Every structure is written in C-alpha cells, then in structure tokens.
Structure 1
C-alpha cells in the first residue's frame, strides 16, 4: 500500500484495492506518504553525518522510491520485514547489492529479531534503527517493549528514527482502522506524548518531535510544510 501511495510499481492488486479505499476517506494519504519518505531521506543523511555506518530499516516493505541503501551507500543496510513474499521480492530487487541484506523477521518479536540481526550487525558499534510508519501497527505494551530492547542492545551514539501516525481525522478514523485490520494489521494511533515515550533514553535532535515536513526541511518555505500527517523524530542514545 505504501509503495502504491508513492506511485511505485512494486505492489499487488490487493494492496491497490485497500489503498484506494483509504484514499476515499483520507485523500491526503499520498501527500503524507511522500512527506514520510522525504523525512526518511533527510533522517538517513543526518545519522550518516553523525558517523553511523549501520542502519536497520524495520518493517521496510518492498523496496520502493528512494531506498535507504541508495541514500546511504557508505553504510551497511539491513531491511527487515515479516512477510515472506515481500522478502523474496525484496531480495530479487536488491540482488548483487553490496553491503545490503533483506532479513525476514517480525518486529513484534524483538528477541528473535535481534538474534537474527546478530550475524549482520556489529552491536559494539553505533547502529541506527529506522521505525518509520511501523510502530502504529503494534499494540501499546508490545511497541514500547520492542523499542526498549532495541535501545538496550545499542551502544551510545546509536540512533532511533521514528515516524508515527496520529488521529488527525477522528470522524473518518474508524473506517480506516477497519480497512487496515482487514488488509494488513490493526492501527494503534497514539498522542504526541505517547509517541514521545519511545525516545526515553535518547536525546532528540533538533527540532525535536514534529511533523514530517517540519523536521529539517530542505525548503522551509515549501507549501504544505505546516501540515501534520503525524509525528517524526530522531534520537541519539546517551
């Protein structure tokens, strides 16, 4: 669905049908997806500038427009997704890419995930975990437990990058929740304060927790920079 919102070519009929249902209720979803992707590019450039050379992209989905390994060719990049079909297609799309892996693992099972990552990532060196548009698909206690375990295994200087949806259209939200429940996974929308909790133990980079287009925008005067499609932030482990 995300790839479809980005006008990508790597999506399936079921994805397109569910995405079109969402767009009927939330016509700005494509704009939000592109804002999220633009934030990804800026955040990845930022963590690389901080000296991080290992990036784990959680719930990555199919490689789409502007991939992490393309933004940070100097870094070791591990894409993670639980869907076996996504992983097969992802590995095919990334065939012969040096320093890039596509790992099948479920973010909701952090212990198993970290065991699998152990052979691909050196946890004695800083690592950046990207959790973009993924934590709102995980229930509360499980989501906070996942992030806590990622933080525990990370050395100081590691980074956490989050984008998270909010309930910006309460009247239409129940319909969207039902669509996502049938199509992929249930949505668990959170408040700004609840999203901020994920960054406990991290120092937030300026400008802190903000909307996607408001995080270090390439053009601060661009139209739509004041629209809130959710919250994003980048934290450095202390």
Structure 2
C-alpha cells in the first residue's frame, strides 16, 4: 500500500470529509487548495452529479452499474442510490478497494474489483460474472478519466463494444476549454496541484470529450458543467464537464 506519494482517491476522500487518507494526501490536498480554494466544492459537485445520473439511469429502467474509478466509499454510493440494482465497483487503489469490500461484504448484489480501468479486457472479464452484459449497463466514469494519461476514446470504445443496446456511458471530466477564463485558471491550478502526486491530471477539451462518445447517442444537455446536469442547480460551476451517452440499440 503506497503511503509515500499522494493518491487521487485518498485526496478525494479528504476533500469529501472522509477518514481514509494519509498525511502525504492531506499535504497534497492543502497545496491544491492553495491554488483553488473551491476544490472541496468541486469534489462535492462531482459526487452530487453521480447521484443525479444514477437516478436518471434508474428512471430509464437500468438496473446494472459499472462504476469505474469508484474511489473510497463515502455518502451516496451507487448501491445506496439504486438499492435494487447490481453494482460492480472498480478501482486500482488498494485503500479504496479494501474499504469498499468491508462496506459491502454482506451484499450479494455488489461486487468490488481491483483493476485498472485503462485495461478494459481485465475489467470486463472480472465483472462478467456479476453483471449481465447482454442487458443494458450504465458505465460510470465520474471524476476519474482526467487521471488517465492514455487514449480515452480508444479505452471507452472497448467498453462500448461490450455494452448492450440501451446501455449508458456517463462521465465527468475536468477541462480548461471553458467560456469563463477565471474558472479555466482555477482548473489549471488544480492540475498543477496534482502534478507531483501519484495521480497527475490530464485535462481535455470539448472536442476530445465528444470523440470519446463515438457510437453513443449524446443525451441532452450536452457538455454542461456537472452542476448543470441535467438541469441547473444554481451552484457555482466547477470546470468539469458532464457528458452522458446512450448506446444505440
């Protein structure tokens, strides 16, 4: 278990008020806050978006969820929002996986897998015994893809190819391709704050995020800040786009 370098999952837990982080994570978090004092709001906004998109999916009749980069469990986990659903949580961070397994040990409808979301075959092989991939699944990648230094469209295309028609892909992703230059500057400060951690940030523009949804029908509203999906909440924007797509039947 790596306690020598700060990790995104544990930093996120710190910002959300959790208890599963090390001193190195708290120190890195404070450096991030120095550049963007709104970072805790950003994390809470992403968590709230997760809740809204899960409820939207259940309203579409989806009862299976694959939560990529699920992080350390906190208030508002997918299985709590959709208690009748089957859920597979996937994360590569050992603290996140260990705690999630403890939290859900008595639930047959919840699976926790330690795997790298950037290796879709590994993930899909692991969850194939728990989720019925011949039926619609909601694949969630909330506040995680900007920690992936790889070809996001190529990675997500492999999940898409394994999805049945009617399945959903929902992401949130940090970006500086914003209409508000001050918000873009704060987002760059977040990126700089993570630079020396074990989880540096890789921001992408709107065109790159749209390209990740090739083969999906984008759900309105398209490319809105997470606080404004599916409708404005009145909260301050955080510089992370929400994008939701439906797999064509």
Instruction: Determine if contact 1:140/1:188 at 8 Å carries over to the other structure.
Output: no
Instruction: Determine if contact 1:35/1:213 at 8 Å carries over to the other structure.
Output: yes
Query: Aligned Cα RMSD in Å?
Result: 1.8
Instruction: Determine if contact 1:79/1:101 at 8 Å carries over to the other structure.
Output: yes
**Following superposition of structure 1 onto structure 2, how do residues 9-20 of structure 1 map, counting pairs within 5 Å?**
9-20=19-30
Asked whether 1:205 is paired with 2:219, we answer yes
Measured in 2, the distance between the counterparts of 1:80 and 1:202 equals: 22
Shift of 1:140: 4.0
Measured in 2, the distance between the counterparts of 1:81 and 1:47 equals: 21
Relative to structure 1, the CA distance from residue 73 to residue 172 in structure 2 (aligned partners, 3 Å threshold; closer, same or farther) is: closer
- Identify the residue that residue 110 of structure 2 maps to in structure 1: 100
**Following superposition of structure 1 onto structure 2, how do residues 1-238 of structure 1 map, counting pairs within 5 Å?**
1-141=11-151, 143-167=152-176, 168-170=183-185, 173=188, 176-177=190-191, 179-217=193-231, 220=232, 222-224=234-236, 227-238=237-248
Instruction: Determine if contact 1:108/1:146 at 8 Å carries over to the other structure.
Output: yes
Relative to structure 1, the CA distance from residue 223 to residue 63 in structure 2 (aligned partners, 3 Å threshold; closer, same or farther) is: closer
Normalising by structure 1, report the TM-score: 0.90
Q: How many residues align?
A: 232
1:159-215 C-alpha deviation (Å, 9 max, x unpaired): 001000012444883x64454243232211011111111111111222122101111
Listed as ranges, the gaps of 5+ residues in structure 2 are: 1-10, 177-182
Indicate the SS of the match to 2:202.
coil
Shift of 1:14: 2.3
- Compare 199-208 and 175-184 and name the one that shifted more: 175-184
Which contiguous aligned blocks of 4+ residues in structure 1 show a shift greater than 6 angstroms? none
Normalising by structure 2, report the TM-score: 0.87
1:71-104 C-alpha deviation (Å, 9 max, x unpaired): 0001101110112232112211222134111101
Instruction: Determine if contact 2:36/2:186 at 8 Å carries over to the other structure.
Output: no
